[in-house]
Amino acid sequence: MSRAAIRIGQFTVVSVLTIIIVGAAFESVFSDVYENLSPSWHDARRPVELAILGSSQAQHAYNPLKIEEQTGLYGYNLGSAGQKPDSTYFLLRDFLATELPEVIVLDMYWRTLEGELDFSQLARNYEKISDSDVRRDFFRDGFPLSAKIIHTLPILKYRQDFYWFLESSLNRLLDRADEDADISDPPAPNTPTEKSTDFRGYRHTTDTISERHISEENKFRNYRFSGFNRRQVEYLRRIVELARQRNIDIVVVSAPILPQSLDLVADYDEIAHRLDTLFRSLDVPYIDLNREPRLTTQLDASHFSDENHLNAAGATLVSEWISSLSTLPPDRDGRENR
């Protein structure tokens, strides 16, 4: 056997062992982020009449309890961090296996339509699926080949979790160093005033964004619009089609982002026009709350926990506004016979 063949063999063995050992270490440390992700609507006290879908924008913006106070509709918020339309479609199918809501509010954060494959959101939402048929279809059709390979190998499956762990650890060290450097003038991070609480899937928090995050560290400062991904647009079409097949009213809403963040999005006129054109083509009602004067005149930094997420005060305003839509009638006549 030649030296080259021996070296190739040694390299292969070392590589395989590294993949196995590091993958096992990642699994032992990070697998808990995928546990206990069963959907909250399984704990519903009665049939769900209002389903709220979308990314963390939805999760932080629409309070089912507030909406129920105004409309009588018993709702659940199915939003989740980073949720893109591909995951939304399969989550909705899983939800409809046991529930038949009267109305769907689909939150449309435009950034969920951008970019290529986002494996982390696929994997987390996949773990929420209970129905075996939907779970099978999700992995078969919703996971591209590259995602199937990543999901199979722990060293790849948990790599993003590892990066997030390093990033958060580094940020904590830097914040601590800043505080030690000048104890009289510590940095002003977002200061939590109350631990986030889950109310039927809605993330309730009273955090308020800091001045530093509004200006110096705003993540929209260098943002550039990259266009909509065809895969995600196709899954939007499937979501609308699925709702119509089940005779469910659907309305699409873009929750507001921090006004100062919106000012930094130079292409927002184009984004808004594309969204409006897209939902007109799907014949679906669409409301952009970033362009709704009745709401935007009431919103300021005190209603946001960060650059694009509402806190409890902001969610109350948005939930009350949503409750006034004609698709969410306050009277309940005839619902029992639906």
The pLDDT tens digits for 228-274 are 999 999 999 999 999 999 999 999 999 999 999 999 999 999 999 99
Confidence band of 16 (pLDDT split at 50, 70, 90): low
Asked if residues 49 and 73 have their Cβ atoms less than 8 Å apart, the reply is yes
Which of these ranges, 53-62, 124-133, 158-167, has the smallest mean pLDDT?
A: 158-167
* CA–CA–CA angle 156, 228, 79 (5° rounding): 65
pTM for the predicted model, two decimal places? 0.80
Closest CA to 258 of 319, 215, 320: 215
For the segment 305-324, the average pLDDT, to the nearest whole number, is 95
Whether the predicted pLDDT of 41 surpasses 60: yes
CB atoms within 10 A of CB 312: 22
User: Given pLDDT bands bounded at 50, 70 and 90, which one contains residue 131?
Assistant: very high
pLDDT reading at 48 higher than 60? yes
Highest mean pLDDT among 20-24, 141-145, 160-164: 141-145
pLDDT of residue 189: 37
- The more confident residue out of 327 and 252 is 252
Does the pLDDT value for residue 17 go beyond 70? no
Which residue(s) pair with 50 in the sheet? 75, 103
What pLDDT, on the 0 to 100 scale, is given for residue 215?
Answer: 87
CA angle, 323 then 63 then 134, to 5°: 100
pLDDT in tens, 272-305: 999 999 999 999 999 999 999 989 999 999 999 9
Q: Give the pLDDT confidence score for residue 175 in this predicted structure.
A: 61
Q: Which pair of tokens denotes residue 70?
A: 């105004």
Residue with tokens 């969204």: 275
Helix pair 159-181, 119-128: axis angle to 10 deg: 110
The overall average pLDDT reported for the chain is 83
Tell me if residue 161 falls in helix, strand or coil. Answer: helix
Distance CA(255)–CA(57), nearest Å, equals 6
What pLDDT score does 124 carry?
A: 85
Let me know: does 311 contact 192? Beta carbons within 8 Å.
no
Is residue 102 packed enough to be buried (19+ CB in 10 Å), middle (13-18) or exposed (0-12)? buried
105, 51 contact by CB (below 8 A): yes
132-157 pLDDT, tens digit each: 999 999 999 999 898 888 877 776 66
Cα torsion at 51, 55, 60, 62 (round to 10°)? -30
Residue 180 reports pLDDT greater than 60:
no
Neighbours of 5 (CB within 10 A): 9
Residue type present at position 182: D
